[in-house]
A and B are shown apart, each in its own frame.
Chain A
Amino acid sequence: MQIYDIKLKTKIILGSSGYPSPKIFLNCIKILKCEMVTVSIRRVNKSQDNAFFELIKKTKCHILPNTAGCLSSREAIATAEMSREIFETNLIKLEVIEDDITLKPSMKNTIKAAETLIKKGFEVLPYTTDDFKFAKAMESIGCKVIMPWGSQIGSGRGLENPEKLIKIRQEFPQLTLIVDAGIGRISHVCEAFEIGYDGILLNSAVSKSDYPEEFSRALGLSVEAVERSIRSGLIPKRSYASPSTSSIGLPFKK
């Protein structure tokens, strides 16, 4: 999977939030052979140490900071700039949401922030809805990677509008497309790859499962399985039945 100048061997980008322990998080990375993890920045308090930063460095993964929770382009730009200084990367997962309830990305403010960030040298991975116009706008301002939602963040509802995601895939074969948000089950992951997406970004499905390491094993196996099935050549979908058993020599026919 190509993320700007970075070529990843794996198709999973893993969020770093909400694991039962740092050890379990590190184990999940190891099990998935993960090469890129998402992180955030938040206010510090006086007694805070640098433990999380040291933990992330220990993973040796590429770091993808996010702008989660930003409600305006101004907030997102400042957050991206602070993230770049801390993590020393031009990559930014750009999230500018409309509200705190749906966490739906704001098209207007995401475009506005992305335009400025690209001018400042960032490599922007925008979190979008499955609206084609939103994806088109991001592509036209220079984003090489687009991350439409499957469904709302943390909802676990999977790909609610696969037809819309397919349209984005068909229109932008040159872009890296990653389903970001809404993944809850292994079947959602398989569906995303079957419709031609390059990758998956997920967090809660792993970290909030009862056994994150076991879910990671299942996830790794499913990615391998779905990749093999795609390479083997999937039959096209048909509107009508097509018998698999030959009708030649069918008894009782005139």
Chain B
Amino acid sequence: MKILVNGKIVQIQKEANLVDFIEINFSSLTSYAIALNGEFVPKSKYQDVNIKNGDKIEVVSAQPGG
């Protein structure tokens, strides 16, 4: 299935929840947060959220800002 990760199309081979998704794609990150289809998803819910075809995922981390 195809999903959009940070604005780019990504192909996913099998069903995954958000824990699997992070482990596969962003394993080096320790500090991050996720929004799914425009809504914030708390870390405590990652295990329960299964990624579906067409989902839009934003993965963000701390950056400089004014």
Question: Which residues of A are in contact with B by a Cβ distance under 8 Å?
Answer: 15-19, 38-50, 52-53, 56, 65-66, 68, 74-75, 77-78, 81-83, 85-87, 153, 201-204
Contact = CB atoms under 8 A, between A and B. Distances in A.
A137 B7 CA distance: 35
A47 B59 CA distance: 13
Interface in B13-38: 25-26, 28-35, 38
Main secondary structure of the interface of A (DSSP, over half): mixed
A16 B65 contact: yes
14 contacts: A17-B65, A39-B65, A40-B64, A43-B60, A44-B61, A46-B25, A50-B29, A53-B62, A66-B65, A66-B66, A68-B65, A75-B38, A81-B42, A202-B66
Nearest to B63: A42
A78 B32 CA distance: 13
B55 to A, nearest CB: 15
A53 B33 CA distance: 13
Interface of B: 6-7, 25-26, 28-35, 38-40, 42-43, 58-66
Contact of A49 (B7, B28, B59): B28
A44 B65 contact: no
Given A82-B34, A82-B35, A16 B40 contact: no
Contacts of A39: 62-65
A46 B8 CA distance: 12
A91 B40 CA distance: 17
B28 A48 contact: yes
Nearest to B7: A43
A47 B29 CA distance: 9
Contact of B59 (A38, A44, A68): A44
Given A43-B58, A50-B29, 16 more contacts: A15-B65, A16-B66, A18-B66, A39-B63, A40-B66, A43-B6, A43-B60, A44-B29, A52-B62, A65-B65, A74-B38, A81-B42, A86-B31, A86-B60, A153-B66, A202-B66
